[in-house]
Structure 1
């Protein structure tokens, strides 16, 4: 790790990740011949953006300009506006300042907030799109200001339609519902937030390894019917819900009575065995959509994920596969895919 944050190079790609996982993202970029460089905790850059999205990347943007003034002096707003002047103006912008998701990076939150406010005030109001959730439909440009430790500031941009995340720096913080039993519910909400469509009223969902019911609870709240598969007990309010069928059986032994619209899985089990189980569901066309959480080993995370991808695609026939470590994930990744019937 560099002793101080390094300045990114214009024309290259800036990547954010979870602190402690820089080496895994570096390895993915290296395998893709993207010529990566470690800039500091939770920050990397690469010569190009790989065709396959790295699992450990939260966000990526193309670097426009970088500043590293001596003594951490504040960068004049005029200099930032000058750097942004070459960006297209025929599409709306979503402007966000963010910090790296690291212990030192988080100390720059106040600086980032003040900088964003100053740049916003200097830009024509009609250029900015305030409803971030409309960014992809509007063909907006995400304009990021990465406020890093040691006075480093990086300006970058990426089309919303090509962005890994619409959240600043890829940190999609989901609100924890008061009745939710665990962090699991927020993991599911973040995973669904990035999909083109979500489970809705009347959809049949199967939740493998459901207990105590965090994911089942959120699915029922969306109006879905849920078959919750787990030998352990669910929360009492779920067992009384007419749209929840609790099957007290091992997920590995369970076979559905009818094909499901959605398959969900969040089990603390060996990753290759979980991948093989999910591949069986795809191969037998038991579900059309997949959202699953894969726990990661202490070592050899990247080779394991390559094997998981191979199992799900080659053995399971799942299409449109994404493998991402989301903000609410820890030593795990979230997998999404679909299968045509």
Structure 2
């Protein structure tokens, strides 16, 4: 099958030294610091007319059909206010704009700062502004249980408190990339976790409509030392951990863990699994081909994988990874996102037709 054509590379503009105001009606996207050029190129390839606003902030004229891989969250801007106003004036203006643009229904009101050194220093200001705006909105409209936002049909309203400007935006919770402020889905690392890898898995599962259940069979490729296997076992799953290296002793003794000490590329399951998990520090196209083989042969029903990114040409590589997984592997419902706990990597989820 021929490889997909890679769009022409995009000339990336410099990141403004001071955060620029946004334009109401446009979309505001956040990303990991240092990944603004990759997000900008994605949006340009999608014909969304992006513009750099500042560190970790990129806006676009429209929302692309596919969620940007490098976006943590995206909101439609309702107002762009200068930060020079007093806190009381800002809170009054924001409350009025929210009442005007979201006239009915439940709200989840959140505030965040850009995830950058300058932005993080403004966390106290953001918290104070959030409380001031909350006090000016009807209490019966504010949904406290954020996790219920999608099922309740609520609107996610976010205040982005950046150096020099406060941006106000909203998105229906059912369409939101994340329900965490600014898309920063912080997961707690348990004391017995062997690595930070477990937090990546937890965040990936939070964003799925369902997760591995008790008794389901999960194959964990590249399992050692066992961060993902540990979290899957805690959910009651039975795990086939594939890795030449050793697992943590407590996992190796776990009756619901079967350790296959061989290469993930050589392993073939004796029967189809419910879930395929993979988090290997390996070349992205080779990992994609491996995952495509599992999809093509019907060896698993659901996929959660972490794809490591090269230093250069991240977006072209991801175009090819997407093609390999969907066109060659037959995986459906593919999502590809750089989550909060991802670094130079992205998390992929997909499923096979039932």
Q: Which category describes the TM-score, using the shorter chain as reference length?
A: over 0.9
SS of 1:186's partner is helix
Paired with 2:123 and 2:138, the residues of 1 have a C-alpha distance of 24
Map residues 20-39 of structure 1 onto 2, 5 A cutoff.
20-39=34-53
Task: Name the structure 2 match of 1:305.
Answer: 318
TM-score under structure 1 length normalisation: 0.98
Aligned 8 A contact 1:205 1:261 in 2? yes
Which aligned runs of 4 or more in structure 1 are off by greater than 6 angstroms? none
Whether 1:5 aligns to 2:27 is no
Task: Name the structure 1 match of 2:148.
Answer: 134
Q: CA deviation at 1:90?
A: 3.2
Q: CA deviation at 1:82?
A: 1.5
Task: Name the structure 2 match of 1:172.
Answer: 185
Q: CA deviation at 1:84?
A: 1.1
SS of 2:117's partner is coil
Aligned 8 A contact 2:49 2:61 in 1? yes
Aligned 8 A contact 1:89 1:127 in 2? no
Task: Name the structure 2 match of 1:125.
Answer: 139
Structure 1 vs Structure 2 CA RMSD = 1.0
Q: CA deviation at 1:119?
A: 0.9
Question: Any gaps of 5 or more consecutive residues in structure 2?
Answer: 1-14
TM-score under structure 2 length normalisation: 0.94
Among 128, 132, 141, the residue aligned to 1:114: 128
Q: Deviations over 1:207-262 (max 9, x none)?
A: 00000000000000000000000000000000100000000000000000110000
Paired with 1:330 and 1:309, the residues of 2 have a C-alpha distance of 19
Aligned 8 A contact 2:78 2:101 in 1? no
Task: Name the structure 2 match of 1:315.
Answer: 328
Among 249, 268, 278, the residue aligned to 1:265: 278
Aligned 8 A contact 1:147 1:154 in 2? yes
Paired with 1:269 and 1:64, the residues of 2 have a C-alpha distance of 43
Task: Name the structure 2 match of 1:288.
Answer: 301
Whether 1:41 aligns to 2:55 is yes
Task: Name the structure 2 match of 1:244.
Answer: 257
Paired with 2:292 and 2:59, the residues of 1 have a C-alpha distance of 34
Task: Name the structure 2 match of 1:60.
Answer: 74
Q: Deviations over 1:134-165 (max 9, x none)?
A: 1110111000000011x210000000010000
